[in-house]
Structure 1
Amino acid sequence: MGIALMSMSLNQGKVQQQASLSVMKIAMGKAKEQGEAVKELINSSNVKALQQAAQPHLGRNIDLKL
């Protein structure tokens, strides 16, 4: 393998690693924001909002039989 090919391969690996780290930092930031929002919601005394956040599908539909 030539020096030029080896250099290109190493640089490409560095770029891929930097991209992966950037994506991971973004994901960690989003997770932190969501965690803080959940923490704030739990600390609030609004129980109905907490229940709605935990199970958003409940209470939207009513089954009626006549």
Structure 2
Amino acid sequence: MDITAIAAAIPYMNLGNQIAASVMKMSLNQLETAGDGIKKMMEMSVTPNLGGNIDISL
């Protein structure tokens, strides 16, 4: 490969890297949002007093 072809390809490689990084960032933001939603659902489903009292009378 000659030097001029390499020099011409470099801007496209940089653009590709920037696009890939942007897509990964968007994906990470979506995963964080989904994780926060799951965490909130789990916190709301907890019943803290469940099992605190045991009735052993017959």
User: TM-score, normalised to structure 2's length?
Assistant: 0.69
Alpha carbon RMSD of aligned pairs, Å? 1.8
Give unpaired runs (5+ residues) of structure 1.
Answer: 48-66
Q: What runs of 5+ residues in structure 2 fail to find an aligned partner?
A: 48-58
Greater RCO structure (CA 8 Å; 6+ sep): 1
Q: CA deviation at 1:11?
A: 0.9
Q: Distance in 2 between matches of 1:19 and 1:32?
A: 20
Which ranges of 4 or more aligned residues in structure 1 deviate by more than 2 Å? none
Instruction: Give the whole-Å Cα distance in 2 for the aligned partners of 1:21 and 1:11.
Output: 15
One-letter amino acid matched to 2:39: K
Matched ranges for 1:46-57 at <5 A: none
Residues 9-61 of structure 1: per-residue CA shift (max 9 Å, x gap): 111110000000000000000000000000000000378xxxxxxxxxxxxxx
**CA displacement at 1:2 relative to structure 2:** 4.1
The 2-side partners of 1:33 and 1:14 are apart by 29
